[in-house]
Amino acid sequence: MGSDEAAHSEDLAARLRPTLTQLHFMIRRRTPGPELTPSQQSVLSTLMASGPIRMGELARRERIRLPSTTSAVDGLERLGLVERATDPTDRRAVVVQLSASGVETTRELTRARNAALAGLLDKLSPTDRASLDRAIDALDHLAELYRSEP
């Protein structure tokens, strides 16, 4: 990558990151639900997508250390949103999974947050909505690159 491309990427990152962060927190504030840390919310989303998972693998997917994962899961367990169980393939290991309440809460939060974002999207021009639609694949790819980095 040339220096012009690197400078462009740095400029794009400097403009994109604050906007994504602000949107994330604004949508969170507009939707009622349990008071969850960002780590806890991310763990719920990961568990919803993955199903039961070992704590070490959850930490790897979340890109956080195992003690931080354990702390997030402990808090979610106290709220009744996750459960720990013995790994059926290795009884020495523990897996974590969403409880029935965790599945319901995650689905409700997802619906509410999608509705909040849809309400904001409705206020954009068709051209702006089309631009965002075209950007989704690139943003998904960006997130995948982040998840797969060592």
CA 11 from centre of chain: 24
pLDDT of residue 85: 93
More confident residue, 56 or 28: 56
When pLDDT is cut at 50, 70 and 90, the band that residue 29 belongs to is confident
Fill in the DSSP letter of residue 89.
Answer: T
pLDDT in tens, 66-111: 999 999 999 999 999 999 999 888 888 889 999 999 999 999 989 9
pLDDT of residue 111: 92
Report, as an integer, the average pLDDT of 40-54.
Answer: 94
Q: Is the pLDDT of residue 2 over 80?
A: no
Amino acid present at 73: V
What percentage of the chain has pLDDT greater than the value 70? 99
Domain ranges of the chain: 31-148
What percentage of the chain has pLDDT greater than the value 90? 64
Q: Fold for domain 31-148?
A: Arc Repressor Mutant, subunit A (1.10.10)
The angle that helices 38-50 and 55-62 make with each other, rounded to 10 degrees, is 120
pLDDT of residue 115: 92
Q: Is the pLDDT of residue 143 over 90?
A: no
Considering only CA atoms, which of 14, 33, 4 is closest in space to residue 115? 33
